[in-house]
Amino acid sequence: MTVPPPPSGAHPVDTARHAADREPDTASVGDLVGNVTRNLSTLMRQELALARAEIKQEASKTGKAAGAFGGAGFAAWFVVLFLSLALWAGLSNLMDPGWAALIVGALWAIVAAVLFMSGRSTFRKVHPKPERTVDTLGQVPDALRGHRGDTR
């Protein structure tokens, strides 16, 4: 069988690959090894792209959690400052100013604990390991041996 001429401007490797793809019985060992090499290279590029996408997604979650911590801290600073002063001044009319300050401090300790627990629960949802990539990379050796995901 005659291989049609390559389109103008076609790369010689592309022409050899297409010839090997169309005629597996007559393809040379070099063409077959080249195909395997290209396919493995493509597989590795795809796995790296998947890993990048997963890591980017997890980094986004981490950034949102960090932003929540930062925003909570900034808001808490002003809330603690102004409301503490107002509450302390108000309670000072009813009791000793020292006890009023202690009560105000205890209230803000409770608020800080609640904000901390919220941030910690958000961080627990972050999975830095690209799990799908690890799973598919674990299947590569079986695929090279000719298994297609069997559990044998």
Q: What is the pLDDT along the chain (152 residues), one digit of tens a residue?
A: 454 555 555 454 555 555 545 555 677 888 888 888 899 889 889 989 998 988 989 889 999 999 999 999 898 788 778 878 998 999 999 999 999 989 888 988 998 899 899 999 988 888 777 778 777 777 777 766 766 555 54
The parent domain of residue 58 ranges over 13-133
Q: How far apart are CA 103 and CA 43, in angstroms?
A: 63
Contact yes or no for 144/80 (Cβ under 8 A): no
| 41 within some domain | yes
| 7 within some domain | no
The number of residues in the chain equals 152
What pLDDT shows up at residue 71? 94
CA-only gyration radius of the chain, Å: 32
| 145 within some domain | no
- What's the whole-model pTM score? 0.36
Q: How far apart are CA 49 and CA 136, in angstroms?
A: 12
What pLDDT shows up at residue 7? 54
- And the tokens for 4? 């049609």
| 1 within some domain | no
Count of structural domains, the chain: 1
